C-alpha cells in the first residue's frame, strides 16, 4: 500500500494507514455530499479546495510553532 511504503521511507508519521486513508476520503467525500445533496458549493475553485484539503490533511489546522500561519 502506498501509505505504508511512505511510512517505511520516513515520509509519513506512524499510524494506522487504513484510518489515514479513510480520513482523507472522508475529507474529499464530504465536499461531494455538500454539493450533491445540499447544493452548497465551496467559495473557492476546485483546485484551491483540493490544495487546502491536502494541506490540512498533511499539516493540520494549527499554526506553526513560530505563530506564523501557513500560506
Question: Is the pTM higher than 0.85?
Answer: no
Q: By residue range, what is the domain housing residue 56?
A: 15-71
Does a structural domain hold residue 2?
A: no
Number of domains in the chain: 1
Judge whether 9 lies within some domain.
no
State the cell numbers at 38. Answer: 445540499
Q: What are the tens digits of pLDDT across the range 4-51?
A: 999 999 999 999 999 999 999 999 999 889 989 999 988 999 899 999
Note whether residue 10 is domain-resident.
no
Would you state the pLDDT for residue 69? 61
- Count of C-beta atoms within a 10 Å radius of residue 27: 14
**DSSP string for residues in the chain:** -HHHHHHHTTSS-SS-HHHHHHHHHHHHHHHHHHHHHH-PPPSS-HHHHHHHHHHHHHH-SSPPTTSPPP-
What angle, rounded to 10 degrees, do the helices at 17-38 and 46-59 form? 150
Amino acid at each position: 500500500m502506498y501509505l505504508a511504503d511512505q511510512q517505511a521511507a520516513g515520509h509519513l508519521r506512524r499510524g494506522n494507514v487504513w484510518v489515514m486513508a479513510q480520513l482523507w476520503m472522508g475529507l474529499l467525500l464530504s465536499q461531494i455530499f455538500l454539493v450533491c445533496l445540499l447544493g452548497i458549493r465551496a467559495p473557492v475553485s476546485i483546485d484551491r479546495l483540493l490544495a487546502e484539503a491536502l494541506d490540512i490533511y498533511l499539516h493540520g489546522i494549527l499554526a506553526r510553532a513560530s505563530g506564523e500561519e501557513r500560506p
